[in-house]
Amino acid sequence: MEKPTGALSLVFRQKKDGQTYPAKQYYKLPLQVMRTHYQEDDGTAYTYLLNPSGGVLQHDRLYTEIVLEENSKVYITTPSSTKFYKMDDGHAEVVNKITVGAGAVLEYLPEHNTPFAMAEAYQENEFYLHKDAILIASDMVTAGRVSRGEIFDYDLYSSKTKIYVDGHLRLYDHSHMDAKQIDMKKLGYMEGYLTNGTVYVYAGHINDQLPETLNRMKPEGVLLAAGKIDDSMMIVRFLGNSMVELKEAVDAIWGQIRRDVLKKEPIRVRKY
Protein backbone atom coordinates (compact mmCIF):
# COMPACT_ATOMS: atom_id res chain seq x y z
CA MET A 1 0.00 0.00 0.00
CA GLU A 2 1.09 3.56 -0.67
CA LYS A 3 1.27 6.02 2.22
CA PRO A 4 -2.09 5.64 4.04
CA THR A 5 -4.54 8.53 3.84
CA GLY A 6 -6.23 7.16 6.96
CA ALA A 7 -4.79 5.00 9.73
CA LEU A 8 -5.87 3.33 12.95
CA SER A 9 -3.80 1.45 15.53
CA LEU A 10 -5.10 -0.39 18.61
CA VAL A 11 -3.45 -2.56 21.25
CA PHE A 12 -5.68 -4.51 23.65
CA ARG A 13 -4.44 -5.78 27.01
CA GLN A 14 -6.02 -7.75 29.84
CA LYS A 15 -6.14 -6.28 33.35
CA LYS A 16 -5.51 -8.35 36.46
CA ASP A 17 -9.27 -8.53 37.07
CA GLY A 18 -9.76 -10.10 33.62
CA GLN A 19 -11.17 -7.07 31.84
CA THR A 20 -9.70 -6.27 28.42
CA TYR A 21 -9.04 -2.61 27.63
CA PRO A 22 -7.40 -0.59 24.82
CA ALA A 23 -3.91 0.02 26.23
CA LYS A 24 -2.83 2.05 23.20
CA GLN A 25 -4.76 3.70 20.44
CA TYR A 26 -4.11 6.08 17.56
CA TYR A 27 -6.17 7.11 14.58
CA LYS A 28 -5.97 9.47 11.67
CA LEU A 29 -9.23 10.45 9.99
CA PRO A 30 -11.17 9.18 8.14
CA LEU A 31 -10.65 6.15 10.41
CA GLN A 32 -11.81 6.38 14.00
CA VAL A 33 -12.66 4.18 16.98
CA MET A 34 -15.50 4.59 19.45
CA ARG A 35 -15.08 4.18 23.17
CA THR A 36 -14.88 0.54 24.26
CA HIS A 37 -17.81 -0.75 26.28
CA TYR A 38 -18.70 -4.01 28.01
CA GLN A 39 -21.75 -6.24 27.63
CA GLU A 40 -20.51 -9.43 29.32
CA ASP A 41 -19.10 -10.38 32.70
CA ASP A 42 -15.93 -11.97 31.26
CA GLY A 43 -14.39 -8.60 30.38
CA THR A 44 -14.76 -8.82 26.59
CA ALA A 45 -14.05 -5.39 25.09
CA TYR A 46 -16.73 -4.38 22.57
CA THR A 47 -15.18 -2.02 20.04
CA TYR A 48 -16.69 -0.17 17.09
CA LEU A 49 -14.58 1.00 14.17
CA LEU A 50 -16.05 3.74 12.05
CA ASN A 51 -15.48 6.10 9.18
CA PRO A 52 -17.14 9.46 9.95
CA SER A 53 -16.75 10.59 6.32
CA GLY A 54 -19.56 8.19 5.45
CA GLY A 55 -17.64 5.81 3.22
CA VAL A 56 -14.53 5.02 1.21
CA LEU A 57 -13.58 7.41 -1.59
CA GLN A 58 -11.42 7.09 -4.69
CA HIS A 59 -7.69 7.25 -3.87
CA ASP A 60 -8.33 6.35 -0.21
CA ARG A 61 -5.63 4.16 1.29
CA LEU A 62 -6.92 3.03 4.70
CA TYR A 63 -4.72 1.00 7.03
CA THR A 64 -5.77 -0.56 10.34
CA GLU A 65 -3.48 -2.47 12.68
CA ILE A 66 -4.85 -4.19 15.79
CA VAL A 67 -3.00 -6.27 18.39
CA LEU A 68 -4.63 -8.47 21.01
CA GLU A 69 -2.12 -9.27 23.70
CA GLU A 70 -2.09 -12.52 25.68
CA ASN A 71 -5.49 -13.66 27.06
CA SER A 72 -7.35 -10.54 25.90
CA LYS A 73 -10.93 -10.86 24.62
CA VAL A 74 -12.26 -8.47 21.99
CA TYR A 75 -15.38 -8.13 19.85
CA ILE A 76 -14.92 -5.79 16.88
CA THR A 77 -17.64 -4.54 14.55
CA THR A 78 -18.78 -1.45 12.65
CA PRO A 79 -21.93 0.60 13.34
CA SER A 80 -23.17 0.19 9.74
CA SER A 81 -22.14 -1.05 6.32
CA THR A 82 -18.96 0.23 4.65
CA LYS A 83 -19.80 2.11 1.47
CA PHE A 84 -17.37 2.32 -1.45
CA TYR A 85 -18.44 5.38 -3.38
CA LYS A 86 -18.41 5.96 -7.14
CA MET A 87 -14.85 6.29 -8.43
CA ASP A 88 -14.38 8.26 -11.65
CA ASP A 89 -10.62 8.10 -11.36
CA GLY A 90 -8.45 5.60 -9.50
CA HIS A 91 -9.39 3.07 -6.85
CA ALA A 92 -9.51 2.55 -3.08
CA GLU A 93 -7.53 0.19 -0.85
CA VAL A 94 -8.39 -1.02 2.65
CA VAL A 95 -5.88 -3.13 4.61
CA ASN A 96 -6.60 -4.61 8.04
CA LYS A 97 -3.74 -6.33 9.87
CA ILE A 98 -4.71 -8.07 13.12
CA THR A 99 -2.49 -9.99 15.54
CA VAL A 100 -4.06 -12.30 18.15
CA GLY A 101 -1.80 -13.47 20.97
CA ALA A 102 -1.69 -16.64 23.07
CA GLY A 103 -5.00 -17.39 24.78
CA ALA A 104 -6.64 -14.33 23.20
CA VAL A 105 -10.09 -14.39 21.59
CA LEU A 106 -11.13 -12.18 18.69
CA GLU A 107 -14.63 -11.92 17.29
CA TYR A 108 -14.26 -9.75 14.19
CA LEU A 109 -17.72 -9.20 12.68
CA PRO A 110 -17.97 -5.94 10.70
CA GLU A 111 -21.14 -5.09 8.82
CA HIS A 112 -21.24 -5.77 5.07
CA ASN A 113 -19.49 -3.84 2.29
CA THR A 114 -21.53 -2.00 -0.33
CA PRO A 115 -19.71 -1.05 -3.55
CA PHE A 116 -21.54 1.71 -5.44
CA ALA A 117 -21.74 1.93 -9.24
CA MET A 118 -18.30 2.49 -10.82
CA ALA A 119 -16.45 1.66 -7.59
CA GLU A 120 -13.10 -0.15 -7.73
CA ALA A 121 -12.21 -1.46 -4.29
CA TYR A 122 -9.46 -3.67 -2.90
CA GLN A 123 -9.67 -5.04 0.66
CA GLU A 124 -7.17 -7.22 2.51
CA ASN A 125 -7.74 -8.81 5.92
CA GLU A 126 -4.62 -10.37 7.43
CA PHE A 127 -4.82 -12.31 10.70
CA TYR A 128 -1.67 -13.38 12.56
CA LEU A 129 -2.63 -15.90 15.23
CA HIS A 130 -0.81 -17.65 18.03
CA LYS A 131 -1.63 -21.36 17.91
CA ASP A 132 -3.54 -21.01 21.19
CA ALA A 133 -5.64 -18.08 19.98
CA ILE A 134 -9.28 -18.18 18.85
CA LEU A 135 -10.67 -16.30 15.85
CA ILE A 136 -14.23 -15.86 14.58
CA ALA A 137 -14.29 -13.47 11.61
CA SER A 138 -16.71 -12.57 8.82
CA ASP A 139 -16.59 -10.84 5.44
CA MET A 140 -19.76 -9.88 3.55
CA VAL A 141 -20.55 -7.88 0.39
CA THR A 142 -23.70 -6.90 -1.48
CA ALA A 143 -24.35 -6.38 -5.19
CA GLY A 144 -24.53 -2.62 -4.57
CA ARG A 145 -27.35 -0.18 -3.91
CA VAL A 146 -30.00 -2.63 -5.02
CA SER A 147 -32.92 -0.38 -4.03
CA ARG A 148 -31.63 2.20 -6.55
CA GLY A 149 -31.31 -0.40 -9.27
CA GLU A 150 -27.51 -0.66 -8.94
CA ILE A 151 -26.94 -4.41 -9.21
CA PHE A 152 -23.32 -5.40 -9.86
CA ASP A 153 -22.73 -1.98 -11.42
CA TYR A 154 -19.39 -1.54 -9.65
CA ASP A 155 -16.23 -1.98 -11.72
CA LEU A 156 -14.32 -4.35 -9.44
CA TYR A 157 -14.47 -5.62 -5.86
CA SER A 158 -11.57 -7.64 -4.48
CA SER A 159 -11.36 -9.04 -0.96
CA LYS A 160 -8.46 -11.15 0.30
CA THR A 161 -8.34 -12.96 3.63
CA LYS A 162 -5.11 -14.46 4.95
CA ILE A 163 -4.82 -16.37 8.21
CA TYR A 164 -1.37 -17.14 9.61
CA VAL A 165 -0.82 -19.41 12.62
CA ASP A 166 2.57 -19.15 14.34
CA GLY A 167 3.92 -17.45 11.24
CA HIS A 168 2.69 -20.08 8.76
CA LEU A 169 0.04 -19.24 6.18
CA ARG A 170 -2.89 -21.57 6.89
CA LEU A 171 -5.63 -20.00 4.79
CA TYR A 172 -5.70 -17.75 1.74
CA ASP A 173 -9.11 -16.79 0.38
CA HIS A 174 -9.61 -14.36 -2.50
CA SER A 175 -12.96 -13.08 -3.73
CA HIS A 176 -12.33 -11.29 -7.05
CA MET A 177 -15.54 -9.90 -8.54
CA ASP A 178 -14.80 -8.17 -11.84
CA ALA A 179 -18.33 -7.00 -12.51
CA LYS A 180 -17.23 -4.79 -15.42
CA GLN A 181 -15.96 -7.80 -17.37
CA ILE A 182 -18.10 -10.68 -16.06
CA ASP A 183 -21.85 -11.23 -15.81
CA MET A 184 -22.03 -11.88 -12.08
CA LYS A 185 -25.54 -13.30 -12.35
CA LYS A 186 -24.60 -16.27 -14.51
CA LEU A 187 -23.97 -19.88 -13.57
CA GLY A 188 -20.77 -20.40 -11.62
CA TYR A 189 -20.80 -16.88 -10.16
CA MET A 190 -23.63 -15.42 -8.08
CA GLU A 191 -26.34 -17.34 -9.96
CA GLY A 192 -29.07 -14.82 -9.21
CA TYR A 193 -28.08 -14.08 -5.60
CA LEU A 194 -27.25 -10.52 -4.57
CA THR A 195 -25.26 -10.92 -1.36
CA ASN A 196 -22.55 -13.29 -0.24
CA GLY A 197 -20.07 -13.79 2.53
CA THR A 198 -17.89 -16.07 4.61
CA VAL A 199 -17.32 -16.79 8.29
CA TYR A 200 -13.84 -18.02 9.26
CA VAL A 201 -13.20 -19.92 12.49
CA TYR A 202 -9.88 -20.90 14.05
CA ALA A 203 -9.63 -22.67 17.42
CA GLY A 204 -7.47 -25.34 19.02
CA HIS A 205 -10.02 -27.99 18.17
CA ILE A 206 -13.32 -27.76 16.30
CA ASN A 207 -15.84 -30.52 16.88
CA ASP A 208 -17.07 -32.40 13.82
CA GLN A 209 -20.61 -31.76 14.99
CA LEU A 210 -20.31 -27.98 14.56
CA PRO A 211 -20.33 -27.83 10.73
CA GLU A 212 -22.96 -30.58 10.71
CA THR A 213 -25.15 -28.46 12.99
CA LEU A 214 -24.65 -25.38 10.83
CA ASN A 215 -25.44 -27.30 7.65
CA ARG A 216 -28.76 -28.36 9.15
CA MET A 217 -29.75 -24.71 9.53
CA LYS A 218 -32.30 -23.51 7.00
CA PRO A 219 -32.35 -19.73 7.39
CA GLU A 220 -35.04 -18.05 5.32
CA GLY A 221 -33.76 -16.81 1.95
CA VAL A 222 -30.16 -17.89 2.60
CA LEU A 223 -28.13 -20.78 1.19
CA LEU A 224 -25.18 -21.84 3.34
CA ALA A 225 -22.51 -24.53 3.54
CA ALA A 226 -20.04 -25.17 6.37
CA GLY A 227 -16.96 -27.37 6.39
CA LYS A 228 -13.75 -28.01 8.29
CA ILE A 229 -10.40 -27.45 6.62
CA ASP A 230 -8.71 -29.37 9.42
CA ASP A 231 -9.27 -29.94 13.14
CA SER A 232 -8.56 -26.29 13.97
CA MET A 233 -10.10 -24.34 11.08
CA MET A 234 -13.57 -24.08 9.56
CA ILE A 235 -15.29 -21.85 7.01
CA VAL A 236 -18.96 -21.12 6.34
CA ARG A 237 -20.07 -19.77 2.94
CA PHE A 238 -23.46 -18.17 2.40
CA LEU A 239 -25.53 -16.58 -0.37
CA GLY A 240 -28.71 -14.54 -0.17
CA ASN A 241 -30.75 -11.73 -1.66
CA SER A 242 -32.01 -9.74 1.30
CA MET A 243 -29.34 -8.17 3.47
CA VAL A 244 -31.74 -8.34 6.41
CA GLU A 245 -32.14 -12.11 5.96
CA LEU A 246 -28.40 -12.55 5.49
CA LYS A 247 -27.63 -10.59 8.65
CA GLU A 248 -30.10 -12.73 10.61
CA ALA A 249 -28.45 -15.86 9.23
CA VAL A 250 -24.96 -14.63 10.14
CA ASP A 251 -26.15 -13.84 13.66
CA ALA A 252 -27.51 -17.39 13.96
CA ILE A 253 -24.24 -18.86 12.61
CA TRP A 254 -22.19 -16.72 15.00
CA GLY A 255 -24.43 -17.73 17.88
CA GLN A 256 -23.94 -21.44 17.26
CA ILE A 257 -20.19 -21.04 16.82
CA ARG A 258 -20.05 -19.06 20.04
CA ARG A 259 -21.86 -21.77 21.97
CA ASP A 260 -19.63 -24.51 20.62
CA VAL A 261 -16.21 -22.81 20.54
CA LEU A 262 -16.39 -20.17 23.29
CA LYS A 263 -18.96 -21.94 25.49
CA LYS A 264 -20.89 -18.67 25.68
CA GLU A 265 -24.38 -17.69 24.64
CA PRO A 266 -24.73 -15.05 21.92
CA ILE A 267 -25.96 -11.64 22.96
CA ARG A 268 -27.69 -8.81 21.18
CA VAL A 269 -24.92 -6.44 20.12
CA ARG A 270 -25.92 -2.80 20.36
CA LYS A 271 -25.46 -0.70 17.24
CA TYR A 272 -25.53 3.07 17.10
Q: What is the pLDDT of residues 71-91, one digit of tens each?
A: 999 999 999 999 999 999 999
Average pLDDT over residues 3-30: 96
The stretch 21-34 carries a mean pLDDT of 96
Give the number of C-alpha atoms closer than 13 A to the C-alpha of residue 128, restricted to the C-beta side.
11
Average pLDDT value for residue range 120-141? 97
Neighbouring-strand partners of residue 73? 105
Distances (CA, A) of 209 to 11, 227, 251, 256, 263: 34, 10, 19, 11, 14
Strands (E), the chain: 6-14, 20-28, 32-33, 45-50, 61-68, 73-77, 82-84, 92-100, 105-108, 113-115, 120-129, 134-142, 156-165, 168-177, 195-202, 222-230, 233-240
Residue 228 CB-density burial (10 A; 0-12 exposed, 13-18 middle, 19+ buried): middle
CA separation for the pair 185, 191 (Å, rounded): 5
Q: Name the CA radius of gyration of the chain, rounded.
A: 18
Band of the pLDDT at 2, cuts 50, 70, 90? confident
Cβ contacts of residue 148 below 8 Å, gap of 6+? none
What does DSSP assign to residue 246?
A: H
How do strand 120-129 and strand 92-100 relate by DSSP bridges?
Answer: parallel
**Coil, strand or helix at 209:** helix
pTM: 0.95
Checking if the pLDDT of 42 tops 90, the result is: yes
Q: How far apart are the C-alpha atoms of 211 and 205, rounded to whole Å?
A: 13
pLDDT at 108 (0 to 100): 98
- The pLDDT of residue 270 is 76
Percent of the chain with pLDDT over 70: 100
* pLDDT > 90? residue 189: no
* Greater pLDDT, 210 or 53: 210
Mean pLDDT of 128-140: 97
Neighbours of 238 (CB within 10 A): 24
- pLDDT tens digits for range 229-249: 999 999 999 999 988 899 999
Q: Are 47 and 72 in contact (CB under 8 A)?
A: no
Give the least confident one: 74-78, 184-188, 211-215: 184-188
SS3 state of residue 250: helix
pLDDT band at 66 (very low <50, low <70, confident <90, very high): very high
